[in-house]
Structure 1
Amino acid sequence: MVTHEITPQRRDHGQEITCHAALDLTPHGPHFENSSSAVKLKVYDLPEEPQLLTSLYIEVGTRATARCRVAGVFPTAGEARFTLSFGGESLNFTVATSDDTATAQGEVWSPFPGQRELNCTVTMGPVSRSAGQSVLIYSLPKPVLEVTESRILVNSSVTVTCRSPEPEPLGVLLQLRDAKGVLVPSAPAQPPLQFQLTAGEEDDGREFTCEARPHSGIPAVKHTSARLTVLYGPRMDDSGCPREWIWKEGTEQNFSCLARGNPAPAVECTKDGVSISIGVQRQVRREDAGTYHCKASNPHGSASRDVTVQVEYFHILPLVLGLVGAAAAGAGLAAWGYMYYRSKRIRKYRLRQQQAKLVEQGKPAEQRSLNGAAQSPPDVEHSV
């Protein structure tokens, strides 16, 4: 018997091994040889430990996915054999392969809280590797949020309570918050949590949230929310119903008047006792100018408001009268100028005629008098 030991390598996989024997009887006899049937050498390699991929924390009654993955499998990932168990019980699973990686996947869950062990074993031929992981099964009841009344009248007192359904929620941290932040944080000796307020109009639609987390630091959280409805009568202000509108004739406008309130108020506007449409686009006329009386009402009261509308338009009559007046003034000025010029020219002409006549008559005294009077025409002519 001949024994030969080797250290198999991946390159040896599939090699044939035979045993050869020879009997040499020469020179007195024949030479005999014989060989065994060939045997193929199978080489397996599982160089890495399997990896468990699952959540460390699972809620009671909740199903979670557990995966066991192993890489570097030789000769093929499809030859890997898995066993998967949770809490000592075998799991049903499926196996998927990709290149030299094989992955077994199953579901884990438990109806009771506590620690459970997840175990995975991978076998390749004579080689096996195992991995284990501890999983905490926890219980986190949904918190309870109580509001004295979810629909209340404005200025009423409201109490908001946040608690755990467990009689002694020692393992739960509570918080009571709204959209702006934490209202009441949890304290060891404080549950349940309470918050009181006098409801104002601004609290209408305010949402409160009761939040619960496990005390042990488990990354889990549960919420319960409630929304507050505050009922109040109509409110009218400049933001929704301005007191004054200024429109231009011929433009497209719509008369708008809104009121706040809960429930939403009905708004009606009238002008000279006639109801008008609110929020409807229309062409502005001069007749739209005036005072509108608007009234808003709901089951909790009413409010009223007067709105004044001014309509700006183009006045053609003053322009026409102005043009006519300007034309008349121009015509009168021209006539006055003509008459003044004509009277001055005629006067000068007559003075010259008298002067010439006196010279011909030869009357010195009268001529001196006329000459004295006649000295003014050149000045008059100059002034003209």
Structure 2
Amino acid sequence: MPLPAWQPVGENFTLSCRVPGAGPRGSLTVTLLRGARELVRRSFSGESPRARGAVLTAAVLARREDHGANFSCRAELDLRPHGLGLFENRSAPRMLRTFALSPEPPRLAAPRLLEVGSESPVSCSLDGLFPASEARVYLALGAQRLHPDIILEGDALRAAATATASAEQEGATQLACSVTLGRESRETWENVTVYSFPAPLLTLSAPSVPEGETVTVTCAAGAQALVTLDGVPAAAPGQPVQLQLNATANDDRRSFFCDATLEVDGEVLSKKESTELRVLYAPRLDDSDCPRSWTWPEGPEQTLRCEARGNPAPSVHCARPDGGAVLALGLLGPITRALAGTYRCTAANVQGEAVKDVTLTVEYAPALDSVSCPERITWLEGTEASLSCVAHGVPPPTVSCVRSGAAEVIEGLLHVAREHAGTYRCEATNSRGSAAKTVAITVEYGPSFEELSCPSNWTWVEGSGRLFSCEVDGKPQPRVECVGSRGTTERVLLPLAPPDPSPRAPSIPSEPASGIYTCNATNQHGSMVKMVAVSVESPPKMDESTCPSHQTWLEGAEAVGPACAALGRPSPQVSCSREGGPWPQRIHVSRQDAGTYLCLATNAHGTDTRTITVGVEYRPVVAELAASPPGGVRPGGNFTLTCRAEAWPPAQISWRAPPGALNIGLSSNNSTLSVAGALGSHGGEYECAATNAHGRHSRRITVRVTGGRELGRGCLSQRCGWWHRWK
């Protein structure tokens, strides 16, 4: 069976496939397909071998996704069990179109009233369409079919068109819309009233007249319209309204308004028309458009305007009466002080001219310059003076000066005193701003000495690097010289802090000399003299000459301490200590007193220290005299005698041997005596003597050269010896 042209979504339709003459039917299989997918498959096995042909029928529910799908039938004859092959045949595919259409009517959007000759947008929309692109729309205004633009959004459709009414359609008519999809349609309509309402006609007897002439204004409209001219209504619909006036300058550019109203289908419609009257008249310079006085702030760009009323539009020219500067009217430009002054403005057109004098004032903030308000002012003590600063500015500024840190304004004539010196802040103020300036006032006066700043008695300390400070009060700063006036200091210049740089000043010694000096202070306002007594002192100083760094004591002697003295004024006190302990007034010198001592010299101007090394010397003592080997010596044998002495400074060692003892050897410092190949003459008493600057000490030892022996050792009163006894 053929498929339906359109099938509603959600409803069943019948698929039928007929395979005529195919057999045997028992070997036949028939399949209904949607595209390549099997919908229904049936095998006719078991049928009579003589049966031929087959029919397969199925009911299918239409869906959206079936729209545009192809349906077909496939027949398979399987003769392979009979020794033949599998035979297959397909039908031509049939395409199915499905659709869905909302039961609701379309929605119309259209004006209730439509004026002849005017255009108005209309639209027809419907939701719930599938497929929306297959829908057909019919939109018409009366018998006039419209050609809408179709806009699709998913399952929604909107048809938009522009409706233009003609005079033939005037009156009541219908706007109809029909949407068709598949085998179904949805329709709707709206009533529209078409009307005719021409614009009112507003006329002037003359569009442009000279001042003083009469002008007639007429307002008219269609037969059914009621007109109003500047608020005055006509007597009845369809009748015109007129207005007459004597033209004046104030009527120039006057607008007239003509209103027309028309009632259509219970709704009142209106239209308006306007026109402008031009009145020709001579220029007029009013204060509102061209003020007699202009005031501008200096700096920002401004547009100078002097406008004249008149028709035709007058030209305006403003210049100084003396033929000087001309104002650039209507142009944006900077305002400068040079523009200030009086100008004559002339306005002219073909009807005449007008003249007016205007004054331009340029205001600017105050300024305090160095001429009218100097930064530095000098007054003389005892005179009369006033602090006055003049400022430039428009409007004229007020100026006040206040001392820094004070609140009182300085005014009037002052009797100058030193306390008037200082820094003042002068401020000028007007409506455009303010300016401030710092003014330093110096009060000058003659020199004067003060004991604290220039003492009558001064002590100079050697090495301090300090110069005599004689500060003198005075303005300008006085020049001070202190010159010796008596004895060794006569005509000697006392070095001052700072030193006098004058090349004519006497030479300055490396250190001042004690004595009396005359100090003279001078500036342009006078001079003053003062006598100064100078004394020279110095801090302690120790050197090799006053405190030798190496000193020697003798053991057993009496000592009062290191020999140290110090130079300085006043005379320093000197004390020495060892390892932080004080030095006793007197000691009996022992070897333990040797070492390092710190000596400290002190006076009012400081201290000096010096490190002293003390050595203690003592008489020699032979501490040990020994033989090696410790026993006696056989003839031909070797022996050594060793002598050790204690002494400072170190002792000189000397030996005395038995008479006839030869071939004796001594070490480099004589501390060792040695004999190789002892003979009988080497036997006897040997003496070792130690000698230094402080004395001599000796010890003896006896050596025996023989056969077998007993050896012994003994010491008797500064004498030690070796002896032996034959066995």
- TM over 0.5: same fold? yes
- Does residue 101 of the first structure (1) align with residue 156 of the second (2)? yes
TM superposition shift of 1:221: 4.2
Partner of 1:36: 56
Partner of 1:231: 280
Name the CA shift for 1:276/1:87 in 2 (closer, same or farther; >3 Å). same
Separation in 1, partners of 2:301, 2:146: 75
SS of 2:103's equivalent in the other structure is: coil
Name the CA shift for 1:44/1:19 in 2 (closer, same or farther; >3 Å). farther
Decide which of 332, 351, 356 is 1:305's aligned counterpart: 356
TM superposition shift of 1:144: 1.0
Partner of 1:174: 227
Across the aligned residues of Structure 1 and Structure 2, the Cα RMSD in angstroms comes to 4.7
TM superposition shift of 1:205: 1.9
Partner of 2:538: none
Partner of 1:52: 108
Name the CA shift for 1:215/1:292 in 2 (closer, same or farther; >3 Å). same
Decide which of 189, 205, 214 is 2:262's aligned counterpart: 214
TM superposition shift of 1:292: 4.4
Q: Is the 8 A contact 1:117 1:133 kept in 2?
A: yes
Give aligned-pair identity as a percent: 34
SS of 2:133's equivalent in the other structure is: helix
What 5-or-longer segments of structure 2 have no aligned partner?
A: 1-6, 19-46, 63-98, 386-414, 416-727
Separation in 1, partners of 2:296, 2:174: 80
Paired residue type of 1:266: S
TM superposition shift of 1:93: 4.0
TM superposition shift of 1:150: 1.9
TM superposition shift of 1:264: 2.5
Name the CA shift for 1:191/1:19 in 2 (closer, same or farther; >3 Å). same
Separation in 1, partners of 2:15, 2:156: 30
Q: Is the 8 A contact 1:257 1:278 kept in 2?
A: no
Q: Give per-residue Cα distances to partners, 1:328-356, cap 9 Å, x unaligned.
A: x949xx9xxxxxxxxxxxxxxxxxxxxxx
Q: Is the 8 A contact 1:268 1:275 kept in 2?
A: no
Paired residue type of 1:145: L
Partner of 2:252: 204
Paired residue type of 1:132: W
Separation in 2, partners of 1:254, 1:77: 66
Name the CA shift for 1:230/1:46 in 2 (closer, same or farther; >3 Å). same
Higher mean displacement: 31-40 or 262-271: 31-40
Aligned pairs for 1:72-221 (under 5 A) are 72-73=128-129, 75-109=130-164, 110-112=166-168, 113-164=170-221, 166=222, 169-170=223-224, 172-177=225-230, 183-188=231-236, 191-216=239-264, 217=266, 221=270
Where relative contact order (Cα < 8 A, 6+ residues apart) is larger, the structure is: 1
Q: Is the 8 A contact 1:250 1:284 kept in 2?
A: no
Aligned pairs for 1:309-324 (under 5 A) are none
Q: Is the 8 A contact 1:251 1:283 kept in 2?
A: no
Partner of 1:265: 314
Separation in 1, partners of 2:384, 2:294: 42
Name the CA shift for 1:293/1:64 in 2 (closer, same or farther; >3 Å). closer
Separation in 2, partners of 1:124, 1:272: 91
Paired residue type of 1:86: L
Q: Is the 8 A contact 2:229 2:256 kept in 1?
A: yes
SS of 2:108's equivalent in the other structure is: strand
Paired residue type of 2:116: V
Name the CA shift for 1:37/1:51 in 2 (closer, same or farther; >3 Å). same
Name the CA shift for 1:38/1:210 in 2 (closer, same or farther; >3 Å). farther
TM superposition shift of 1:246: 7.3
Separation in 2, partners of 1:17, 1:77: 26
Paired residue type of 1:104: A
Which one has a larger percent helix, Structure 1 or Structure 2? 1
Whichever of the two has the greater Rg, that structure is: 2
Separation in 2, partners of 1:310, 1:82: 78
What 5-or-longer segments of structure 1 have no aligned partner?
A: 1-7, 21-28, 178-182, 335-384
Separation in 2, partners of 1:192, 1:330: 94
Name the CA shift for 1:83/1:159 in 2 (closer, same or farther; >3 Å). same
Partner of 1:62: 118
Q: Is the 8 A contact 1:87 1:117 kept in 2?
A: yes
Q: Is the 8 A contact 1:252 1:283 kept in 2?
A: no
Q: Is the 8 A contact 1:234 1:297 kept in 2?
A: yes
TM superposition shift of 1:118: 2.3
Q: Give per-residue Cα distances to partners, 1:262-285, cap 9 Å, x unaligned.
A: 222233445455264123767545
Q: Give per-residue Cα distances to partners, 1:98-151, cap 9 Å, x unaligned.
A: 222223344443342232222222334443332122222221212211012222
Higher mean displacement: 295-304 or 265-274: 265-274
Separation in 2, partners of 1:121, 1:251: 71
Which one has a larger percent strand, Structure 1 or Structure 2? 2
Q: Is the 8 A contact 1:253 1:283 kept in 2?
A: no
- Does residue 277 of the first structure (1) align with residue 326 of the second (2)? yes
Q: Is the 8 A contact 1:257 1:267 kept in 2?
A: yes
TM superposition shift of 1:204: 2.3
Partner of 2:549: none
SS of 1:202's equivalent in the other structure is: helix
Paired residue type of 1:70: L
Separation in 2, partners of 1:214, 1:126: 47
Separation in 2, partners of 1:76, 1:311: 81
Paired residue type of 1:265: P
Separation in 1, partners of 2:295, 2:173: 77
Q: Is the 8 A contact 1:83 1:122 kept in 2?
A: yes
Separation in 1, partners of 2:297, 2:119: 70
Paired residue type of 1:154: E
Q: Normalized against structure 1, the TM-score is what?
A: 0.60
TM superposition shift of 1:163: 0.6
Separation in 1, partners of 2:284, 2:242: 31
Separation in 2, partners of 1:255, 1:92: 61
Q: Give per-residue Cα distances to partners, 1:204-247, cap 9 Å, x unaligned.
A: 22222323343225575443321122222222233344445679
SS of 2:280's equivalent in the other structure is: strand
Decide which of 341, 344, 347 is 1:296's aligned counterpart: 347
Separation in 2, partners of 1:90, 1:175: 39
Separation in 2, partners of 1:210, 1:153: 24
Name the CA shift for 1:40/1:205 in 2 (closer, same or farther; >3 Å). farther
Partner of 1:359: none
